[in-house]
């Protein structure tokens, strides 16, 4: 099926890119040129597939100058493509981004064009030791994809969630689900559930962010923070950005570009005149958590975090969301 | 062979016409800036200029309808985009007025522009002062420093609908007499529209004959009826605590005091997160908040 789709469409999937210091494979979602590049047994991509919807850099508009006048050009065209092998947590992450980018005030046309023209084929997997998506209620995807594959031995159990997905299945052939397959599927799902090792106590998390707003825990972790923004770059849901404009060497054209940013970076909230609303690393770190676990909940009735722990893996200073939340949950009086 | 069907959003009807930023839920060209022309650039003080700006396209000009307290994203192509609160009258459909202090890169460049220059305007964005709710009440307009800029839109509104409001008092605090903005309009506001205006200066010069002190000193002379008054407070956040604290001690409910916040902004549409305050965004739920909400937003002031 994937090979067939590759004949006529751009297909993106997890590829093996490198090894980390411990020798573990590092995977990344990239365009597939050859079917053999697709690693269906990948563990976790270092970067989340969010960047196919929110690229690190994206041109918002160009301005062509002529004499003292200018003309603005905007291009929203996105060609259809297929992403194979997305995890449930990453699909849930997209659903959260949809809330902001599609369903809220001022829907973003760039994001919408990418979302609307991307076919998503999901893939189940057994959790890694540090996955806590189950605690974040993001371990299963019920919508937000076209097809979702679960390995039940010598075949895939496939959930169909769109007409395009159904069309693809019909084109490449699939057999009807037999009762025995359903039993196998249930067994696999139970087995996946039993493998979660990391749990996060989320009982009172949104409230906790207010209760512990002045907690020394923020300083403890914030003092470690290097303000590098790696956590936001790998996060499947972080969407904040900055805009910059560049002029070409002949002063005939300017490009307005959006680039993904991080609320941990020093100048995130600094304004003209020099005032910085969040000058210290621990204040910025706190706001990252406050937005993920409190601010987003207030607006959309769900946390922004999906529990993939990519930020914990990427953090150069060893700040793990699980450890920070455990500290905040602590019953000891500081 | 199976080619995934292509949905070209450029062909959607709302995408093919100029955006109307008052239709917040519509999918439209949110990056499209209305090409506009600087009609006048008036030096008001050493650091502040008043710009008259006309949106050129008739349909875009028609779409641009704002209420006092809202802001625009002002674009200087190739230089950058900044959030600026609107300072003119919402009934002026011919051009908009922006009063801008020269403080950063974009505003520095803006100050160098001469009449005739082409710039971009997106908006209006954000919440506004609840002019309808205030109908039938006394209105206290309290400005500190540059806070008079968004308040001026409110003053125009009150004057345009003068019969709807009872006693309207402007309290204006400023550091030095040379920084006073719109002094040339004060007489008209008072004599024609019957507003009361009290200006107080922190550091007077020899020629200054008016009040001297902090803005809160003006409360000694201004009687306030807490049961029938709305307050609009614009200025530096430190002022909110003293002014709103005083008013709330008088018995004015915090939900009848309105303040305007300022934050860094890159989009104006709740997407870039730069203006995040507490659990929300200044560009969507603000810049105008009632004081109760502001008190409940972490580190808002």
Shared-domain flag, residues B175 and B213: yes
Out of A168, A243, A246, name the one closest to residue B81 (CB). Answer: A243
Shared-domain flag, residues B150 and B109: no
Q: What is the mean pLDDT of residues B221-243?
A: 94
Nearest CA in chain B to A107: B27
For B122-134, letters b (16+ CB in 10 Å) and e give: bbbbbbbbbbeeb
Question: Residues 6 or more apart from A140 whose CB is under 8 A from it?
Answer: A88
Shared-domain flag, residues B163 and B43: no
Complex ipTM value: 0.92
User: Which residues in chain A have their CB less than 8 angstroms from residue B22's CB?
Assistant: none
Tokens standing for B26?
């519509």
Q: What is the CATH number of the domain that holds B74?
A: 2.40.30.10
Out of B31, B104, B272, name the one closest to residue A74 (CB). Answer: B31
Q: What is the pLDDT of residues A115-173, one digit of tens each?
A: 999 999 999 999 999 999 999 999 999 999 999 999 999 899 999 999 999 999 998 88
Is B235 inside a domain boundary? yes
Q: What is the CATH number of the domain that holds B187?
A: 3.40.50.80
> DSSP secondary structure string, B239-281?
HHHHHHHHHHHHT--GGGEEEE-----SSSSSSS-TTEETTEE
Instruction: Output the CA–CA distances (angstroms, integers) from residue B155 to A141, B83, B128, B131, B197, in the order listed.
Output: 53, 21, 13, 11, 11
Question: Residues 6 or more apart from B120 whose CB is under 8 A from it?
Answer: A72, B33, B34, B35, B36, B74, B75, B76, B77, B81
Query: Which of B91, B125, B159 is a domain's end point?
Result: B125
Tokens standing for A293?
């676990």
Q: What is the mean pLDDT of residues A312-316?
A: 94
Out of B3, B5, B271, name the one closest to residue A108 (CB). Answer: B271
Q: Do A271 and B263 touch (CB under 8 A)?
A: yes
Give pLDDT, residue A21: 84
The dihedrals phi and psi of A29, each to the nearest 5 degrees, come to: -75, 120
pTM, 2 dp: 0.94
Residue in A73, A97, A105 to test binding to B, most B beta-carbons within 10 Å: A105
Residue in A9, A53, A109 to test binding to B, most B beta-carbons within 10 Å: A109
Query: Which of B98, B125, B152 is a domain's end point?
Result: B125
Q: Do B276 and A245 touch (CB under 8 A)?
A: no
Give pLDDT, residue A3: 85
Give pLDDT, residue A224: 95
Peptide bond into A216 cis (omega under 30): no
DSSP annotation of B232: E
Q: What is the mean pLDDT of residues B226-255?
A: 94
* Extents of the domains making up chain A: 2-329
Q: What is the extent of the structural domain holding B57? A: 9-20+29-125
Give pLDDT, residue B128: 97
CA distance B134 to B256: 9
A73–chain B Cβ distance below 8 A for any pair: no
Give pLDDT, residue B65: 97
Out of B2, B32, B33, name the one closest to residue A168 (CB). Answer: B2
Q: What is the pLDDT of residues B152-178, one digit of tens each?
A: 999 999 999 999 999 999 999 999 999
In the block, which residue shows the tokens 């459909």?
B93
Is B58 inside a domain boundary? yes
Shared-domain flag, residues B48 and B154: no
Q: Do B279 and A7 touch (CB under 8 A)?
A: no
Give pLDDT, residue A334: 58
Is B4 inside a domain boundary? no
Q: Do A242 and B27 touch (CB under 8 A)?
A: no
| The three-state (H, E, C) secondary structure of A36-83, written as one string | HHCCCCCCCECCCHHHHCCCCEEEEEEEEEECCEEEEECCCCCCCEEE
In three-state secondary structure terms, A183 is helix
Q: Do A263 and B5 touch (CB under 8 A)?
A: no
Q: In chain A, how many H helices and how many E strands?
A: 12, 10
CA distance B223 to B216: 13
CA distance A182 to A165: 20
Q: What is the pLDDT of residues B266-295, one digit of tens each?
A: 999 999 999 999 889 999 999 999 999 999
Q: Do A72 and B29 touch (CB under 8 A)?
A: no
Give pLDDT, residue A7: 87
Strand-pairing partners, residue A245, are A256
Q: CA neighbours within 13 Å on the CB side: how many for B238? A: 3
Which helix (H) or strand (E) segment holds residue A12: the answer is: strand A10-19
Shared-domain flag, residues B80 and B181: no
Give pLDDT, residue B157: 98
In three-state secondary structure terms, B295 is helix
Q: What is the mean pLDDT of residues A301-320?
A: 94
Out of B3, B35, B280, name the one closest to residue A8 (CB). Answer: B3
Out of A240, A294, A298, name the one closest to residue B273 (CB). Answer: A240
Strand-pairing partners, residue B35, are B120
Shared-domain flag, residues B66 and B184: no
Q: Do A7 and B1 touch (CB under 8 A)?
A: yes
A287–chain B Cβ distance below 8 A for any pair: yes
Strand-pairing partners, residue A84, are A121
Instruction: Output the CA–CA distances (angstroms, integers) from residue B219 to A67, B170, B210, B243, B290, in the order listed.
Output: 54, 11, 15, 9, 21
Q: What is the mean pLDDT of residues A196-222?
A: 91
Q: Do B27 and A107 touch (CB under 8 A)?
A: yes
Give yes or no for a contact between A141 and A94, defined as CB atoms under 8 angstroms apart: no
Query: Which of B103, B125, B147 is a domain's end point?
Result: B125
- Average model confidence (pLDDT) across chain B: 95
DSSP annotation of B222: -
Shared-domain flag, residues B279 and B142: yes
- Average model confidence (pLDDT) across chain A: 93
Shared-domain flag, residues B55 and B186: no
Nearest CA in chain A to B22: A106
Number of structural domains in chain B: 2
Statement: residue A8 has pLDDT above 90: no
Is B255 inside a domain boundary? yes
Distance from CA of B22 to the nearest CA of A (A): 10
Query: How many contacts (CB atoms, under 8 Å) link A and B?
Result: 170
Q: What's the sign of the alpha-carbon dihedral B205, B210, B212, B215? A: negative
């Amino acid at each position: 099926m994937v090979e067939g789709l590759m004949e006529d469409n751009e297909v993106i999937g997890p590829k093996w890119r490198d090894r980390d210091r411990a020798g573990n494979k590092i995977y990344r979602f990239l365009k597939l040129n050859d079917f053999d590049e697709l690693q269906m047994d990948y563990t976790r991509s270092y970067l989340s597939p969010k960047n196919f919807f929110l690229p690190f850099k994206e041109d918002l508009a160009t301005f062509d100058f002529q004499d003292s006048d200018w003309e603005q050009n905007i291009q929203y065209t996105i060609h259809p493509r297929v992403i194979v092998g997305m995890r449930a947590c990453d699909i849930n992450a997209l659903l959260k981004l949809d809330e902001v980018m599609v369903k809220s005030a001022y829907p973003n046309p760039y994001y919408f064009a990418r979302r609307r023209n991307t076919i998503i084929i999901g893939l189940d997997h057994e959790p890694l030791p540090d996955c806590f998506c189950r605690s974040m209620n993001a371990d299963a995807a019920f919508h937000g994809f076209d097809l979702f594959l679960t390995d039940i031995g010598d075949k895939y159990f496939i959930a169909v969630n769109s007409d395009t997905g159904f069309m693809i299945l019909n084109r490449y052939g699939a057999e009807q689900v037999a009762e025995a397959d359903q039993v196998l599927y249930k067994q696999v799902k139970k087995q996946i559930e039993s493998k979660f090792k990391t749990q996060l106590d989320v009982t009172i998390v949104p409230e906790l962010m207010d209760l512990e707003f002045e907690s020394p825990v923020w300083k403890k972790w914030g003092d470690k923070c290097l303000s590098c923004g790696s956590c936001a770059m790998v996060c499947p849901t972080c969407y904040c950005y900055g805009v910059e404009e560049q002029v070409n060497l002949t002063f005939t054209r300017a490009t307005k570009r959006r680039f993904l940013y991080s609320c941990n970076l020093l100048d995130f909230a600094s304004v003209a005149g020099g005032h910085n609303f969040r000058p210290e690393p621990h204040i910025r770190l706190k706001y990252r958590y406050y937005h993920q676990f409190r601010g987003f909940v207030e607006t959309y009735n769900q946390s922004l975090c999906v529990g993939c722990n990519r930020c914990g893996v990427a953090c150069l200073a060893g700040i793990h969301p699980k450890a920070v939340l455990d500290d905040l949950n602590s019953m000891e009086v500081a | 062979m199976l080619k995934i069907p292509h949905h070209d959003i450029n062909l959607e009807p709302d995408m093919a016409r100029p955006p109307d930023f008052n239709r917040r839920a519509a999918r439209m060209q949110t990056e499209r800036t209305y090409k506009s022309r600087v009609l006048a650039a008036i030096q008001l003080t050493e650091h502040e200029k008043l710009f008259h700006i006309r949106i050129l396209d008739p349909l875009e000009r028609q779409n641009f309808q704002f209420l006092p307290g809202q802001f625009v994203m002002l674009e200087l192509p190739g230089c950058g985009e900044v959030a600026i609160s609107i300072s003119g009258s919402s009934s002026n459909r011919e051009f908009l007025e922006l009063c801008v202090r020269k403080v950063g890169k974009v505003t520095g460049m803006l100050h160098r522009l001469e009449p005739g220059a082409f710039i971009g305007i997106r908006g209006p964005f954000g919440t506004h002062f609840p002019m309808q709710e205030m109908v039938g009440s006394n209105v206290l307009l309290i400005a500190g420093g540059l806070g008079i800029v968004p308040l001026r839109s409110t003053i125009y509104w009150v004057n345009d609908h003068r019969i709807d409001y009872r006693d309207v008092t402007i309290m204006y605090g400023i550091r030095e007499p040379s920084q006073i903005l719109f002094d040339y309009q004060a007489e008209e506001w008072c004599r024609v529209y019957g507003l009361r205006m009290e200006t107080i200066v922190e550091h007077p010069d020899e020629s200054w004959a008016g009040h001297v002190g902090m803005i809160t000193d003006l409360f000694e002379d201004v009687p306030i009826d807490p049961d029938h008054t709305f307050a609009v407070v614009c200025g530096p956040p430190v002022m909110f605590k003293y002014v709103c604290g005083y008013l709330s001690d008088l018995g004015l409910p915090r939900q009848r005091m309105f303040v305007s916040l300022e934050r860094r902004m890159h989009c104006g549409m709740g997407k870039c997160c730069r203006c995040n305050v507490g659990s929300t965004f200044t560009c969507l739920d603000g810049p105008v908040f009632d004081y109760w909400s502001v008190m409940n937003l972490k580190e808002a002031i």
